[in-house]
Amino acid sequence: MNYKYSMFWTAALGGAMALSMVGCKSDAEKAATSDNSSTSTNASSSGSGGKRPTPTGKGNSQSGDTIKLGVVASVTGDLKPWGDDSYYGAKLAIDEFNTAGGLNGKKIELLMEDSASKPEAAKTAGEKLMGEGVLGVLGEVSSGNTEQIARPAFDKGIPVIAIGATKTTLTDIGANVWRVCYTDDFQGPVMARFAYEDQGIRKAAIITDKKQPYSQGLSESFKQYFLKLGGEIVSEVSYQTGDTQFQAQLTELKSTNPQGIFMSGYFPEVGPLAAQARAAGITAKFFGGDGWDSSAILQSGGDAIIGSYFCNHYNNKEARPEVKMFLDKFKAKYGKEPSTTMAALGYDAALVAIDALKRCKTLDSASLIQEIENVDKLQGVSGEITLKGHNGNPPKRALVVEIRPASEGFQVFKKAYDYFESK
């Protein structure tokens, strides 16, 4: 998820968040067995597919009774709901591990720095943690923020496990970067298939936030797969983060009479976009990505956003035992269920680090990098996570959810898609 803010605790959380499409090929080829239908085909992990560059730095090493890990989270700023939940989820996993005895008696100390929802602050936060000697860094949720952490981490030789950053090329930065979520070159095709096959859309328009790499990449992946299915893109318009008035774009778009509109941006702009589109007389169905994942979209979008569909990673209402156990533990610790999908993904990112640490021959970043790459069939809250041989991008399952009024839980699970080859 890139700039994802999600208030995702009704129907889209259980499978789309933490799971974000993790799964080995063999599992991904199986149809989902939930009460909603699922689509699956043969698959390989997304990303560049080439050999990633090896980090150049030596990283950090530690001794003593404490193992330092870092997490960068947007605990202030526009992405605060995502940042809070990503930190809470990661801390829950770390605290459980420590309570169970840690690593041969050594406890993990989780250091947190605030990205303030801004790339430049994320870079500063990441570099501060690396300077404090952490073996690895968890985070971030936004792809733009995560890139700013990953680049200096490559130079220093420190591993980064992204929580919700979905930009497809993110892991191409180096062999020290992984994620626990799906990528944009999967969720775009998922929404293209849902719009075309499930909703019967043949003529679609696309609205892109040209300031966000996430939105740009997601729009392109939706477009290419929709065209591959036989659909037609009748209009493409853009805006940029922070815009509040969209009349010019909507006037242009309306003239092409689309049946569906794919809005690839984040919820702060998508809500007003939807409201202004309906006010302009546009009746097309609305579709989007995991950047919609916040109940705040209900306030800004009003009735106009109800009945729209978006892609997500996980669903609090899923029947899987891993979800129930996670929610019980989260509520016991924090007194409430997570409000966004980032809690489950944060938990899973920490699980990946813990799983790798257990196999490290020495407590240093180089050994941790080696063992994160060897993570295979790790059962997370979001689903099975396999990083080994996938260039940092675990093949994961995605959920499509429908936006409903808050009284109905905000998100209602509609359909699950196991990982499929989108190229």
Low-confidence ranges of the chain (pLDDT < 70): 1-50
pLDDT tens across 257-299, in order? 999 999 999 998 999 999 999 999 999 999 999 999 988 899 9
Nearest one of 274, 322, 333, 265 to 300, comparing CA atoms = 274
pLDDT at site 50: 66
Q: Would the pTM count as exceeding 0.95?
A: no
pLDDT at site 376: 98
Whole-angstrom Cα distance, residue 221 to residue 421? 12
pLDDT tens across 166-202, in order? 999 999 999 999 999 999 999 999 999 999 999 999 9
Of the candidate CATH numbers 3.40.50.11310, 3.40.50.2300, 3.90.1150.10, 3.40.1710.10, the domain formed by 184-312+398-417 belongs to 3.40.50.2300
Is the torsion defined by CA of 245, 251, 257, 262 positive or negative? negative
pLDDT at site 30: 29
What token pair was written down for 207?
């609205």
Q: Which residues contact 124 (CB under 8 A, 6 or more apart)?
A: 113
pLDDT at site 1: 54
What token pair was written down for 235?
């209009």
pLDDT at site 49: 55
User: Domain segments of the chain: what residues?
Assistant: 184-312+398-417
